[in-house]
Structure 1
């Protein structure tokens, strides 16, 4: 389930949502990338001159997930189009959102805060994590929300296990990819159409199922994923 938010009345919000859906075009999909521009998500852009802050619901999630999020945050901040638009991603140590999450008020958190937590099989399926993004109905920009990372990727102490295979280096890269994949959903990236993958490029991190685990870039968005990020940026201009 993905929630949507906005600073306008509910009826107007739904009107905005359906109007956006009816005007969605193929311009929000390309080779190896796709935006969350169709029902029920409607995220089409990253808002310019905005800071997207990554925080944690518990101290445990902060301790386990911080090393994995450093990779995509550093990469995103280095993309020229992201920098030129005044967009910044900040990895915080802040613990927040626990009350909202427990009450299932997923979009009641602060604007542009993406909150991570750990949960066993959040989608009821082995190995599947779950993004719960929110968006601003005024302009369909990414707002924030929650990410539930499946604890099966780690042991009870936070050490990586063999969920992604016995090759430790590859399993580590795949775990990094899993976290980056869910962050991509929060930004507005959807699962791209496999028929549109380029045979000359690495498999996108946003690929489904279980996102891009055939590539071992270690949590970095591929060239295809980055084209989607740049589209989100250009749509926010």
Structure 2
């Protein structure tokens, strides 16, 4: 019997390869310091596909927890949100809590562009700068071109095959546990899922913790309620 060559096991593609590459390129060719890409299931339900750095991830997490910020408004109103100074009166009036937390994080400017296909928004490209500097007209044009390219890339890469391996990449779809935890809380408390999500967000904010960390503890059964004083073993989050 002839010796057959061993079958080569092809490694699965990394999730959102093109989206990641385009996002990294955007940071390199503009004056922004970081970028993130989020996809929406509804105006209040979304997940972070990719973040170029931890501050971009944290900025998106703050908006997700608070339910306010340029990213959400760019999606809701289908237009870009360009804010070169988050300490300005306009930004503070529109998003008072978000603005203060963003400034504490060290981000001075925030920009968001809706991702659309056929005129319908499905996500947002969000960026930040550490200095209060406006995007130059050429940089704005570049961001819009990248938003269009990233939008097509995200849709092409939103395939069930990626969902199966997304758990290997901590920067992809972290918030699945948030929605699972909301469902568990809704059943446990006898309230609608929307109210359970509000309570989860409020608990994370009041405890100064990431909502993803609180949700993971609920899913794992490590905590039975949202009152930190009644839960043992709470750890600091990163």
Q: Output the TM-score relative to the length of structure 1.
A: 0.27
Please identify the structure whose Cα radius of gyration is greater: 2
Answer 1 or 2: higher relative contact order, Cα 8 Å, separation at least 6: 1
TM-score for both structures, normalised by structure 2: 0.27
